[in-house]
């Protein structure tokens, strides 16, 4: 996709996006362990929306989160940014892992992805998809249409390690019991995550403790993760997985081939996209927000596909500058 230099997202956007995910994490993080996931999500949405409107971009939310979870949402079609910068598609998840946040468990993130306008895939309200994510070493070898055992063996070969040392990240859900049996029958290990498969996808793409991600998870999270995977050189493949006949018919009416395997480039066609995330609770990818009397500490990651750059950003914030975002 060709976009002029005046309308394409530029490298200066990276730190602006980190400010947005930091704000969502700091606001939502106040509700860690309280058992109230909707209030946590509402605080994060409010902060993310307010800070996004200061970013120099003319953005449209094309992948929002909330309708699926019946939670507060940045809705599809909402205009974000200050309107003065590049035209972009925006994918948001103010808290990837609302239940993790509410229960105080690991791996909750505030996430945001931005790409050139018109480049993000429209799933037509199909909320779930089968996914497979691997790092760059195995990207050219695996295929979602192959049996699980064969893909695991191909990953082991690409990584030059025994199959019994291959670790597969899987969302802990009853629907994945047959998948887990296949993985273990192949001789590989399973690492369960409770929620938040964006973090799992990035971990697999970067080889951070796991070698691949398999299973059915959220379509919005898959598209957001694709922006990050592009920066790592890894691979994400997905296939839409409607949950009922009505959702299936909606997908067919929109022209989707439900047998088609979607690649990273199908999910985000632009080669100029960004991904930013800030830890809310501690996890394999990032540390969570830490609140102290005179400082708030955050850890974030920001990626840009054009340069393949991945930055870890550690920040200190003064609580007295955050006003209402820290009010209960």
pLDDT one-digit tens code per residue, 32-44: 999 999 999 999 9
What is the helix (H) or strand (E) element at residue 58, kind and residue range?
strand 58-63
First to last CA, the chain: 45
The average pLDDT across 280-290 equals 94
**Least-confidence region, from 22-31, 62-71, 132-141:** 62-71
CA angle 100, 20, 300 (to 5 degrees): 60
| Residue of 208 and 190 predicted with greater confidence | 190
Return the structure tokens found at 35. 């058992």
Residue 315: count of CB within 10 angstroms of its CB: 15
Task: Give the model confidence (pLDDT) of 68-89 as tens digits.
Answer: 445 457 888 889 999 988 899 9
Check: CB of residue 43 under 8 Å from CB of residue 289.
no
Unique residue bearing structure tokens 């920001």: 302
Nearest to 28 by CA among 16, 39, 15, 20: 39
Average confidence (pLDDT) over 298-306: 94
Q: Report the alpha-carbon distance of residue 85 to residue 59 in Å, rounded.
A: 9
Exposure on the CB side of residue 92, measured as CA atoms within 13 A: 37
Contacts within 8 Å (CB) and 24+ apart, 185-189 = 185/149, 186/148, 186/149, 186/152, 186/153, 187/152, 187/163, 188/152, 188/156, 188/163, 188/164, 189/164, 189/165
pLDDT given at position 11 = 60
CA torsion, points 272, 242, 98, 23, in degrees to nearest 10? 20
Global pTM?
A: 0.90
Q: CB-based contacts of 140: which residues, under 8 Å, 6+ apart?
A: 235
Structure tokens at 26: 């700091």
**Residue 48: pLDDT over 80:** yes
Residue position matching structure tokens 């939502």? 28
Residue 12 CB coordination number (10 Å): 9
Rounded CA-CA distance 204/187 in Å is 18
pLDDT at position 322: 81
Q: What percent of the chain has pLDDT over 70?
A: 93
Q: What are phi and psi of 263, to 5 degrees?
A: -95, 175
């Amino acid at each position: 996709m060709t976009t002029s230099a005046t309308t394409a997202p530029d490298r200066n956007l990276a730190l602006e996006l980190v400010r947005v995910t930091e704000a969502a994490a700091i606001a939502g993080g106040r509700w860690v362990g309280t058992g109230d996931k909707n209030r946590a999500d509402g605080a994060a949405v409010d902060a993310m929306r307010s800070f996004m409107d200061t970013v120099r971009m003319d953005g449209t939310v094309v992948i929002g989160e909330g309708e699926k979870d019946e939670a507060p949402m940045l809705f599809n079609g909402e205009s974000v940014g200050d309107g003065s910068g590049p035209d972009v598609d925006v994918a948001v998840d103010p808290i990837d892992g609302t239940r993790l946040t509410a229960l105080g468990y690991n791996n909750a993130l505030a996430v945001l992805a931005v790409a050139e306008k018109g480049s993000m895939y429209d799933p037509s309200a199909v909320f779930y998809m089968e996914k497979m994510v691997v790092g760059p070493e195995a990207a050219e070898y695996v295929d979602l249409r192959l049996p699980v055992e064969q893909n695991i063996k191909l990953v082991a070969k690409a990584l030059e390690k025994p199959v019994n040392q291959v670790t597969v990240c899987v969302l802990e859900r009853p629907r994945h019991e047959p998948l887990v049996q296949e993985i273990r029958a192949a001789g590989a290990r399973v690492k369960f995550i409770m929620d938040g498969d964006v973090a799992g996808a990035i971990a697999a793409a970067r080889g951070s403790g796991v070698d691949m991600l398999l299973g059915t998870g959220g379509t919005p999270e898959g598209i957001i993760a694709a922006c990050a995977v592009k920066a790592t050189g890894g691979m994400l493949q997905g296939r839409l997985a409607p949950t009922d006949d009505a959702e299936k018919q909606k997908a067919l009416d929109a022209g989707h081939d439900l047998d088609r395997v979607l690649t990273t480039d199908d999910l985000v066609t632009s080669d100029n996209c960004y991904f930013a995330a800030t830890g809310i609770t501690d996890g394999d990818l990032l540390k969570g927000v830490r609140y102290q009397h005179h400082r708030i500490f955050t850890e974030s990651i920001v990626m840009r596909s054009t340069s393949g750059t991945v930055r870890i950003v550690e920040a200190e914030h003064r609580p007295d500058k955050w006003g209402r975002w820290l009010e209960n």
